């Protein structure tokens, strides 16, 4: 979901409330495969996957309104975002993860990434300043009222004691962020942060005027992160991008960008457009090609390359992550994944649609369920991904045959309540060093283990650092 707290723009609801995009519910499809729907807090799964640990939310993160968000990994630590800050877990023993520190620093979504001794969090709600004691500022406050949103930079030389060192204000805030290492003279000296943000509701919102067809790129000197500053604000859609229609969101920025730096490529999920970028010059990304799907995609939300960068899985966050869209009424092609092949090279590359994938299980009307964040599982010669579906649970599926994707494992909880929809479920589900880690919005950190011959010896593979929105070839691990 990558939710955001409401603040007047529809972008805040594009990840939190069902609201406008649920107009697409008029679509009817054949009933999905029948399967028992688990009861409140019951667990259901395929026989080849099991939960081995859970660490509940605590302290300032315990309230229902304090939503858990994204994950990143480095060494023996998992870094887990929450709308009120972030938690650092020691996962050296995946069966007994330990929370070693909780940093309280409100500012949804607190989307999170790590690089070396630096950690980055995204703030996409207007605050009165950049401190961790800041408070939200309503849109109705008069012009001249202090306002801040953007990215925060932390020193994690000691992961148990993160130190806040710098903030950078960005136009329209930072809904998500993506790290791109420097090249050439900047190699090992600088890091670029692609800041994705957007506006879908008003031309006169503070700090987020329309048109907003750009991203912000922050340059971070690795030896002096306090000198981090905006390096460029490239306009990606000079023609305005997709204008929108009753079923699909207009483009006015990007929700998320996944970079594959060693391939000089990035994939953008930009509201009404799916985008392939050339990032051979990290400070000047160029649009190679775009695709649209006004019939079935309501909101292009996120993207994942396969390991060879010959395919992209795009997600559609129908209903903004707050709606019950995993049911026969909505059908199998809305709120789903779309697999595209990258055909051709360089400036001639095109994205060619292959198929849709959606979990083949029905959820109740009190469960928010839609395609969300996932990552590759490093199986040589295969394209296998683990993915979060909010209260639809966690799905492991194979898209080696892009026209015939197939689920090979799943794990889910039943609804949080039978009488009302509580926003919950798995926000992000990622593979790291032989296990699946899920940051559940309400239930905390889950650790799962898959035992399936189709995954080969993935439990033997080790990565030192993983930010799923900055992909690296697993053949180099």
Residue 408's nearest CA partner among 379, 366, 443 is 379
Per-residue pLDDT of 127-184, as tens digits, reads 999 999 999 998 778 878 899 999 999 999 999 999 999 999 999 999 999 999 999 9
Average pLDDT over residues 1-27: 36
Residue 70's nearest CA partner among 2, 4, 17, 16 is 2
Per-residue pLDDT of 320-378, as tens digits, reads 999 999 999 999 999 999 999 999 999 999 999 999 999 999 999 999 999 999 999 99
- pLDDT over 90 (residue 220): yes
Alpha-carbon gap, residue 443 to 61, rounded angstroms: 11
For the chain, percent of residues with pLDDT exceeding 70: 92
Name the pairing type of β-strands 374-377 and 350-357.
Answer: unpaired
Is residue 109 reached through a cis peptide bond, with omega within 30 degrees of 0 on the bond before it?
A: yes
Alpha-carbon gap, residue 464 to 432, rounded angstroms: 9
Domain 10-476 has CATH 3.40.50.460: no
So what's the pLDDT on residue 201?
A: 67
Alpha-carbon gap, residue 69 to 51, rounded angstroms: 20
Is residue 92 reached through a cis peptide bond, with omega within 30 degrees of 0 on the bond before it?
A: no
Which token pair is 255?
């929700």
Per-residue pLDDT of 107-119, as tens digits, reads 999 999 999 999 9
Domain ranges of the chain: 10-476
So what's the pLDDT on residue 34?
A: 57
pTM of the predicted structure, to 2 decimals: 0.93
CA separation, residue 107 to residues 115, 151, 167, 217 (Å): 21, 10, 12, 20
Comparison of pLDDT for 136 and 32, the residue scoring more:
136
CB-count burial class (<10 Å; 0-12, 13-18, 19+) for 211: middle
Which token pair is 208?
């987020």
The band of 14, judged by pLDDT with boundaries at 50, 70 and 90, is very low
Alpha-carbon gap, residue 425 to 439, rounded angstroms: 8
b/e per residue 306-327 (b: at least 16 CB within 10 A): bbebebbbbbbbbbbbbbbbbb
HSE-up (13 A, CA, CB side) for residue 181 = 16
Average pLDDT over residues 279-286: 97
């Amino acid at each position: 979901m990558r939710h955001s707290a409401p603040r007047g723009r529809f972008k805040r609801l594009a990840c939190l409330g069902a609201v406008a995009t649920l107009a697409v519910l008029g679509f009817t499809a054949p009933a999905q495969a029948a399967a028992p729907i688990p009861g409140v807090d019951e667990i259901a799964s395929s026989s080849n996957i099991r939960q081995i640990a859970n660490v509940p939310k605590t302290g300032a993160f315990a309230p229902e309104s304090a939503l858990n968000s994204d994950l990143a990994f480095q060494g023996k630590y998992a870094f887990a975002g929450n709308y009120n800050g972030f938690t650092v877990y020691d996962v050296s023993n995946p069966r007994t993860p330990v929370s070693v520190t909780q940093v309280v620093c409100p500012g949804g979504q607190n989307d999170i990434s790590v690089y070396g001794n630096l950690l980055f969090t995204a703030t996409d709600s207007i605050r009165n300043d950049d401190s961790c004691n800041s408070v939200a500022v309503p849109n109705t406050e008069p012009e001249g009222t202090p306002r801040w949103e953007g990215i925060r930079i932390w020193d994690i030389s000691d992961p148990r004691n993160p130190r806040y060192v710098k903030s950078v204000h960005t136009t329209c805030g930072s809904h998500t962020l993506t790290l791109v290492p420097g090249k050439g003279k900047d190699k090992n000296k600088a890091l670029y942060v692609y800041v994705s943000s957007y506006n879908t509701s008003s031309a006169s919102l503070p700090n987020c005027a329309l048109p907003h067809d750009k991203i912000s790129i922050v340059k971070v000197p690795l030896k002096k992160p306090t000198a981090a500053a905006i390096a460029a604000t490239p306009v990606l859609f000079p023609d305005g991008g997709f204008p929108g229609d009753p079923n699909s969101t207009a483009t006015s920025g990007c929700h998320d960008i996944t970079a594959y730096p060693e391939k000089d490529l990035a994939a953008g999920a930009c509201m009404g457009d799916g985008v392939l970028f050339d990032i051979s010059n990290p400070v000047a990304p160029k649009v190679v090609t775009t695709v649209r799907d006004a019939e079935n995609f309501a909101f292009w939300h996120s993207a994942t390359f396969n390991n060879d960068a010959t395919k992209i899985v795009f997600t559609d966050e129908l209903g903004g992550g707050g709606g019950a869209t995993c049911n026969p009424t909505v059908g199998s092609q809305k709120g789903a994944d779309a697999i595209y092949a990258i055909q051709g090279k360089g400036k001639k590359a095109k994205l060619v649609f292959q198929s849709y994938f959606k979990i083949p299980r029905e959820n109740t009307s009190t469960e928010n369920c839609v395609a969300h964040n996932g990552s590759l599982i490093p199986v040589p010669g295969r394209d296998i991904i683990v993915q979060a579906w909010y209260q639809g649970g966690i799905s492991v599926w194979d898209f080696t045959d892009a026209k015939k994707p197939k689920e090979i494992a799943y794990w889910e909880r039943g609804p949080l309540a039978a009488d009302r929809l509580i926003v919950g479920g798995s926000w992000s589900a990622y593979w790291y060093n032989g296990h699946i880690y899920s940051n559940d919005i309400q239930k905390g950190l889950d650790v799962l283990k898959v035992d399936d011959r189709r995954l080969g010896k993935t439990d033997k593979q080790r990565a030192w650092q993983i930010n799923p929105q900055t992909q690296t070839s697993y053949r180099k691990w």
